[in-house]
Chain A
Amino acid sequence: MRMFSKLLFLALLALAAFGCAEDKKEPEKKAEPAPKAEAPAAAPAPAALKVGFIYVSPIGDAGWSYAHDLGRKAIAALPGVETTYVEAVPEGPDSERVVTKMAREGANLILTTSFGYMDPTLNVAKEFPDVKFMHCSGFKRADNVGTYFGRMYQARYLSGLVAGSMTKANKLGYVAAFPIPEVIRGINAFTLGVQKVNPDAEVRVVWTKTWYDPATEKEAAKALLDAGCDVIAQHQDSPGPQEAAQERGVYSVGYNSDMSSFAPKAHLTAPVWNWSVIYTYLVEQVRSGAWKSEDIWWGMDKGVVDLAPFGPMVPEEVKAKVAAAKADIIAGKELVFTGPIFDQKGEQKAAAGQTLSDPDLLGMKWFVKGVVGSTE
């Protein structure tokens, strides 16, 4: 009971404190219109470019949104660029509201960083023809809506080279997000990399149908480990699968950003995003007036995708092999999806020397040989 009376006393104190805060509020309120007046005043000062970002998950996720936010910070450091963001915005009607709000508050360039923002972005863009929109990973464009993405499959392939060299069981696990072309493409590229150095190895796929659910993703990784896999790769934004691999004493490949701090003993490397390259380009384009709606799909040559630093367990010879392949990719050699490529049924999808086209890659619905799992 003593506890209770103390608590009550504390609560009363807090209320009293609030009372004081309330008193202070009155004069502050009068000052409130000031920021509103500031907005038009700021407009004539030569063009601080306002860039708004909308993220699907919290930026603390160490994954997708974190990587985009690193890009945002890079452009925020440029002179005359103001950035703002809203995180954890669901992909339904909520996103349309948030994008509208940004446009209304004077953003010049709005970056919508998740696939599900596609239709909302286009809807809002219709209402704000003077604002530039760039939608990440989509395929619909308009006069003031462009799209951008990176050729992550190149980095996935390289991570496959590493993983394929490190497996002893010749069974690798891949914790996959949703059965959409982007993810399927990543699994295929990873598997092609694995098989390049280790033709006997197979990649087992489990779908979590989540982008960010640490518990589910960790459980999925455990299921793969139970099935005998000894390297875990992933496509989600949480480090859950990395932790699962470390707990079992096997290796893992991260995604999005360097996840080594979550699993230092397991983390071999990770295919990572470097969005600042695209964002810096976009800022320059908009500022110079040269911006036009386009479809950006840049790769390793521009530095949009890369590999995170190798863990200490990766031997020098593997590093050298990866470095050579990386140099080839940067030099423009089509390493990843160049035939002969077979699908799971053994049907030839690309003849020797033939490379899959971009539309083929963007609509990819089938797994290459060596993947165990279904695209459903």
Chain B
Amino acid sequence: MRLYAIRRQEPLKWGSCLVFPAALAFSLAFCCLLLAIQGKPPLTGLASLFAGAFGSHHALQDTLLKAVPIFLCALGVAVAFRMQIWNIGAEGQYALGAVGATWAALAFPDAPRPVLIPLMLLSGGLAGGMWALIPALLKVRLRVNEIISTLMLNYIGINFLDWLVYGAWKDPASFGFPMTARFSPSALFPRLPGTRLHLGLALCALAGVAVWLWLSRTRLGYEVKAAGSGPRASVYARMDYGFLVCLVMAVCGVLAGTAGLTETVASAGRLQPSIMAGYGYTAIVVAWLARLNPLSIAVAAFLLAGLRVGVENLQLSLQVPAAFGGILEGCILLSVLAGQFVTGFRFRVERDEGRAETEGAA
């Protein structure tokens, strides 16, 4: 008996709606199994995971806020990926965004909020965008592979942040600990009264809609997609490929930079090296999971944030190791990818032994 995987001529219709829930269900079943192995009650565990992520208005707020940096970075990365520009540099752009905003906050401590916050957004976004332009220009002018250059610039960006925080910007009152002085209260994002939700969430909505409109409703957005599927054809069609590369990179830089500045002012209100939590890399996973679609990215970022927040609750109630969250995350990713394989291929079982020539044997 042999099993063949054959590429589907027509994509699955109703079936594709089932794939994601099925993958999720499989992962959660696996999660239950892991809990049972550790001797923890699996269903209580799942309940606590969900309660922690979505079970109350507090939990929902936590999840929404956690999703903010993931969404912004993933949106940026997706824009670049749409054009098949493999920007791994969101992490560094995030760092530079935080640095840019911190500069504004430290340079103009007395500015009123309506001036200071736009200024921080501008300087943070600009810093992130400029940082992303470096690999873009290197690619366009010198044909430097952007995967390498963006990755390397991450380390430089993070070390630049460290250098500032350990050096020039170190708070003299911090006993030598690596942190800048606290920003003035007017630098902190305003919060929705009675909740912890802050301006970052509004920025997400704005950015998401803007990117969606740009990519789906404008000529420039069309050019980005066209240049992605065929760089040479796009040049032939008199599109400015170099300009487009710089554009998508800069947009990604601005978005990742905004994520960085959001994390800086959202909680601590000062720059600390600990804001680097790997969102720039998480973003790549989220962007792919969501197949680069802005709305799906929002959903994926929200779900991933919910998972991460929920696992904390699971830790609190059942004292499972933190690594459990990582395992669950990996399992979901793998099963979703496997599910996408199922939507793209169909399977055929052949009893006949002698048919090695059938295409696409898995």
Contact = CB atoms under 8 A, between A and B. Distances in A.
Given A85-B315, A86-B322, A179-B166, A15 B263 contact: no
Interface string B125-160: 000000000000000000000000000000000000
Contacts of B275: 92-93
A289 B29 CA distance: 46
Contact of B321 (A87, A105, A116): A87
Interface in A1-60: 1-2, 4-5, 8, 11, 14-15, 17-18, 21-22, 24-25, 28-29, 32, 35, 52, 58-60
9 contacts: A8-B3, A89-B312, A90-B277, A93-B266, A97-B65, A98-B312, A119-B270, A179-B176, A363-B175
B206 interface: no
Contacts of B43: 21, 24-25, 28
A325 B231 CA distance: 74
Q: Is the interface of A mostly helix, strand, loop or mixed?
A: helix
A222 B272 CA distance: 29
B291 interface: no
A102 B65 CA distance: 18
Most chain A CB neighbours (cut-off 10 Å) among B58, B275, B312, B349: B312
B106 interface: no
B268 A92 contact: yes
A102 B347 CA distance: 49
A4 B362 contact: yes
Given A4-B362, A92-B263, A92-B272, A181 B177 contact: yes
Contact of A116 (B266, B272, B322, B349): B272
B62 interface: yes
A21 B32 contact: yes
A209 interface: yes
Interface string B198-232: 00000000000000000000000000000000000
A120 B268 CA distance: 6
Interface residues of A, number: 58
A96 B321 contact: no
Given A84-B319, A92-B267, A102-B316, A14 B62 contact: no
Nearest to A17: B29
Given A94-B277, A97-B66, A116-B274, 14 more contacts: A1-B2, A1-B362, A5-B2, A18-B25, A18-B28, A28-B47, A58-B321, A58-B323, A87-B321, A94-B66, A115-B177, A116-B272, A119-B269, A179-B176
Contacts of A100: 58
A4 B3 contact: yes
Contacts of B26: 11, 14-15, 18
B361 interface: yes
A219 interface: no
